[in-house]
């Protein structure tokens, strides 16, 4: 780091050498560093400037709010700063903060920030030392890992684990607020024939296309999950039985209305790729929560309704009804 030499006698020369030595050590550490007092930035190191895209002359002497705070986060950053400085900060026990910061070009990122008081030999607080590191890649990795745990890798829909968690929560919410709740189970008709005739890669293309079409008919607040090979499950909160059946029919028509265009063949295997259209249909069983308090029972009723739809000729939607002596009649 280039520093201006202070004019003056030997005392000033010694002070300048000590300052240069301290800054050189801070730069060698590699951690992004900032020293502030009274809301004014007193010193920064090269690592911080490189991370933020600002020059030292653009940061040193700047007062609050600091230019690397996103405009939409200034209020929260000021509250955090006031809490740290005004109420004291237990360095030994405090966890680092994860805060949004902004580079000079306007791009945002998540930083892990640690703050500690810089004290003089007599214990007086000279200022506050903040160190920061960009943890965007780690956060992106954590988000992706969570997505892989809760979502189907082929279709990017929710998986059975997330579906079950959400269904439990929706049942509790429906009971608490006395609101309707529907669950639908959807199963592609004769899909095994697609895999047998064209192979699983083509079947995967079709499943991805089915997921897109089903996703297009969801309402805000709905959850669609892939829970089996060609089976999907759908949570429809706050919807009456008539509306749930209408929604199921809309989904069924979305699948049956237009053939799915898929690529058949493999250049690597020596056969040219050609596009074919697959005429697919889907059967749907729908069940209302009614007096049920158990997620497994609600899911079972929807599955029983799906069985009726399959047995009744497929490519149809069936609403489970307790009027019949047997739901499979």
d(Cα 193, Cα 63) in Å, to the nearest integer? Answer: 69
d(Cα 301, Cα 182) in Å, to the nearest integer? Answer: 11
d(Cα 55, Cα 57) in Å, to the nearest integer? Answer: 5
**Catalytic residue list contains 58:** no
The backbone torsions φ and ψ at residue 76, rounded to the nearest 5 degrees and listed phi first, read -65, -40
Residue/partner pairs of 266-270 with CB below 8 Å, 24 or more apart = 266/201
d(Cα 48, Cα 170) in Å, to the nearest integer? Answer: 46
d(Cα 300, Cα 269) in Å, to the nearest integer? Answer: 44
Among 112, 230, 231, 275, the one annotated catalytic: 230
How far from 274 is each of 45, 225, 268, 290, CA to CA, in Å?
Answer: 59, 30, 14, 49
Q: Active-site positions?
A: 230
């Amino acid at each position: 780091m280039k520093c201006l030499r202070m004019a003056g006698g030997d005392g000033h020369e010694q002070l300048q050498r000590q300052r240069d030595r301290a800054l050189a050590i801070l730069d060698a550490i590699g951690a992004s560093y900032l020293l502030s007092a009274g809301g004014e930035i007193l010193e920064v190191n090269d690592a911080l400037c490189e991370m933020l895209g600002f020059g030292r002359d653009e940061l040193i002497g700047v007062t609050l709010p600091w230019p690397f705070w996103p405009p939409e986060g200034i209020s929260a950053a000021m509250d955090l700063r006031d809490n740290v400085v005004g109420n004291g900060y237990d360095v030994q026990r405090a966890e680092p903060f994860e805060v949004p910061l902004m580079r000079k070009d306007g791009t945002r990122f998540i930083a892990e920030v640690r703050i500690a008081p810089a004290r003089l030999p007599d214990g007086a607080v000279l200022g506050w030392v903040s160190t920061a590191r960009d943890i965007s890649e780690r956060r992106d990795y954590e988000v992706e890992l969570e997505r892989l745990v809760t979502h189907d890798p082929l279709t990017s829909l929710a998986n059975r684990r997330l579906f079950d968690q959400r269904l439990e929560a929706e049942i509790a919410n429906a009971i608490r607020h006395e609101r309707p709740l529907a669950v639908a189970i959807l199963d592609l008709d004769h899909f095994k024939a697609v895999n047998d005739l064209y192979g699983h890669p083509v079947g995967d293309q079709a499943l991805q296309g089915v997921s897109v079409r089903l996703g297009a008919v969801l309402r805000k607040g709905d959850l669609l999950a892939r829970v089996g090979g060609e089976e999907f499950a759908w949570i429809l909160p706050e919807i009456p039985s008539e509306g749930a059946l209408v929604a199921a029919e809309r989904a069924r028509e979305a699948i049956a209305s237009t053939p799915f265009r898929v690529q058949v063949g493999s250049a690597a295997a020596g056969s040219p790729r050609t596009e074919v259209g697959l005429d697919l249909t889907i059967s749907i069983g729908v069940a209302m929560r009614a007096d049920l308090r158990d997620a497994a029972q609600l899911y079972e009723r929807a599955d029983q309704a799906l069985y009726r739809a399959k047995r009744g000729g497929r490519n149809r939607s069936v609403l489970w009804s307790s009027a019949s002596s047997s739901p499979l009649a």
